[in-house]
Structure 1
């Protein structure tokens, strides 16, 4: 019996080590660490761990043992250390089926406070109330605001439009009960990071038509992905292999969340699923022509759509819905949006989505403030309290967001 267990343990160790060696070799050859990034070794190690868990989860998924998102969520929960902030009261509750966490400054205020609704990142695969707990604490304490952190449902059990609907419904419930939480109806900010930034755009656009609700004072979009159509933008070409989020991983997460078979990834990258007349209609908003020249390297090649595939279009056409690609919203909706703060990172594959939205908003007269982290990468803000994997850009982005919100 002891021999059986020794063989089993030895086999498992060999399997885990083999996966690690494969991931290490694969990414040693393909990953690109920009020379201007600070602490490149630390970022490389973090990326290697992330990719190892994704690869391990994918293998276990194919073996029908457990899903890749479940593996990421399990290990994410292992590293979380929730720190208490003595000046902030934290309350867990639910708005219907949606778990939320409220952060309120302990000090009594003589007047209603600012309200911040925050949607966390993670690509609908990872991220959680606990992982972003530190961010909620800091936002509440530093801006003297009531913060609502929304714990929307995720993969593997929940697909589109669950993230959007959970965040929309939680936000509407909060807006209808601002007095209960001591929030000034004229000072509500909707904010989010990564897929949370995408949700900010979709929810804020939806709230434009809700005349009976308090108007949103400002929206804060941190490194958002805002469209699923053009993956040949300069940042997609130049940063496609930069940690922590590669272009391949973006498309993988998009396909999983939108229930698109991964066999269509190449058609999505090349644009073969986009009808020519559709591209002519939307290129005025999605084309790389809208990206400032300084963000285009000499190696950049303008968009070239692959041979059109009707089958690919039929399988993926829901990406043209404004609730998936909010960059495609009508001008009349864009023009009604509140003051906006956009955060982009130079070394982020999604950088240009923020730049495209910036131009759309400015073209319609929406006041826009913009912070660009020259040494930033995707997801850096979520690491500000995750020692030893915090970076200077993590605090720089966080401080920029805090500074903007305090002025609202």
Structure 2
């Protein structure tokens, strides 16, 4: 009996040690976030073991675990019709709000899910519930794109998928089929999906052949650049769940099918050091000392190496491509973008990407709403139902849908 109690006590202590991480007092539902983070870390460690044993790629294994716990079939209700189909060969899930005789044409949002370009799906519970809520509350048609993921494809194939599906949807006959108003269409996405949505917006902005233009873009804690991994938010939130800096840098390397040997050098900005000529012209586009307010920069100092590793951008030139890093696009590209909503969270390495993009867009004359949540963390907007229901998740979703309702 005594040995059983000792063993149980030891197991409880080990579990508490594994789950507990120090978090700021301002973060939403800290203990629930610790449990969520511990669950995700456990899934990552299992997938890494599977990779080590040579059974599968770690990202395929991790995505299998994520989808296994959350995949939902295309179930319709009286309020929302849900259909799985494809647009020009790209899988999509379409959510149609109930028809109203007084509103013959509906507005629409093309939604792009997050997951580091490698994880999640339009068909898992979190995104299914989000898009159903959008379709019902906005009485809209939501097109959720099931783009191909790393490691099956790499940059820029994900961008090609979302552009191809969106162009197909914008055809007059397709809009007519879904009773969509061609003048009330927006694009949106979270995290890596926000990156793809921003890239799509910039690409469409430069396409003279497109007759139907996007009315709005809504970016949820978007990842927008890979040149500086030492912005104040990267320094402040280096080990914060759900997305520590090291993991974000690895997602970038995976997206480009790059070499993991570069990760540590990139973390200290050796890939954009002063001796890397290719990066010199782009540094001004993300000079956070001028783009961020003093309330954000605080006492943080820029990390600018004099000499670094010039091999990195030579072997991964995609790092300096505005299609992968929309924040570094030229001002001429930004000035004709549509009205923009950017949601950022305090406890997120990507916070400053969103704030800097908002500043650059405003400087280019674009109307921008920056919606910041002091108790938010990366990914919070999709966590609104039990057992992963966070108060900030519900508030961010409500604020996001309210903006769409008022501006789309």
What TM-score does the superposition give when structure 2 sets the normalisation length? 0.90
Q: Does 1:391 align with 2:384?
A: no
Contact persistence 2:193–2:222 (CA under 8 A): yes
Tell me the equivalent position of 2:266.
268
Distance (whole Å) between structure 1 residues aligned to residue 16 and residue 87 of structure 2: 43
Q: CA deviation at 1:49?
A: 1.0
* Counterpart in the other structure of 2:121: 128
1:34 aligned residue: 24
Residue of structure 1 aligned with 2:92, choices 94, 100, 104: 100
Aligned residues of 2:19 and 2:35 also touching (Cα < 8 A) = no
- 2:3 matched residue in structure 1: none
Distance (Å, rounded) in 2 between the aligned partners of 1:217 and 1:35:
39
Q: Which moved more, 1:270-279 or 1:376-385?
A: 270-279
> Aligned partners of 2:273 and 2:371: how far apart in 1?
35
What CA distance in whole angstroms lies between the structure 1 residues aligned with 2:114 and 2:266? 22
CA distance in 2, matches of 1:35, 1:296: 20
Q: Report matched runs for 1:223-238 at 5 Å.
A: 223-238=221-236
Counterpart residue number, 2:344? 344
* Alignment correspondent of 1:52: 42
Q: How much does 1:98 deviate? A: 1.2
Q: Which moved more, 1:214-223 or 1:68-77?
A: 68-77
CA distance in 2, matches of 1:306, 1:37: 36
Gaps of 5+ in 1: 1-17
1:26–1:319 distance in 2 versus 1, CA, 3 Å: farther
Matches within 5 A, 1:239-278: 239-274=237-272, 276=274, 277-278=277-278
Q: Is the 8 A contact 1:160 1:258 kept in 2?
A: yes
Inter-partner Cα distance in structure 2 for 1:174 and 1:24: 49
TM-aligned CA deviation for residue 266 of structure 1:
1.4
SS at match of 2:272: coil
Task: Give yes or no for the alignment of 1:112 onto 2:105.
Answer: yes
Give the distance between the partners of 2:278 and 2:346, measured in 1 at CA. 29
Which shifted more, 107-116 or 217-226?
A: 107-116
Q: Aligned partners of 1:40, 1:157: CA distance in 2, in Å?
A: 35
Structure 2 unpaired stretches of 5+: 1-10
Once the two structures are superposed, residues 318-367 of structure 1 have per-residue CA deviations (whole angstroms, 9 ceiling, x without a partner) of: 21011111112121110010000000001011000001101110001000
Q: Could you say which residue in structure 1 is the equivalent of 2:132?
A: 137
**Cα distance between partner residues in 2 of 1:376 and 1:254:** 23
- Shift, 1:374, TM fit: 1.0
Conserved? CA contact 1:275–1:313, under 8 Å:
no
Quote the offset at 1:316 in angstroms.
Answer: 2.5
Cα deviations by residue, 1:75-120 (Å, 9 ceiling, x for unpaired): 2223226475430001110113311011111234442110110000
Q: Name the CA shift for 1:315/1:279 in 2 (closer, same or farther; >3 Å).
A: closer
Counterpart of 1:321? 321
Specify whether residues 338 and 89 from structure 1 end up closer, same or farther in structure 2 by C-alpha distance, changes over 3 A only: same
> Which residue does the alignment assign to 1:64?
54
Alpha-carbon distance in structure 1 between the residues aligned to 2:185 and 2:206:
17
Which residue does 2:7 correspond to in 1? none
Contact 1:287/1:303 (8 A) holds in 2: no
> Compared with structure 1, are the counterparts of its residues 280 and 155 closer, same or farther at alpha carbon in structure 2 (3 Å cutoff)?
closer
Deviates more, 1:118-127 or 1:66-75: 66-75
- Secondary structure of the 1:243 match is coil
- 3-state SS, counterpart of residue 38 of structure 1: coil
Structure 1 vs Structure 2 CA RMSD: 2.0
Q: Deviations over 1:25-62 (max 9, x none)?
A: 6775xx54111112211111110111111122112112
Partner of 1:188: 185
CA contact under 8 A between 1:341 and 1:369: conserved in structure 2?
yes
Tell me how far apart the structure 2 counterparts of residues 52 and 125 of structure 1 sit (CA, whole Å): 18
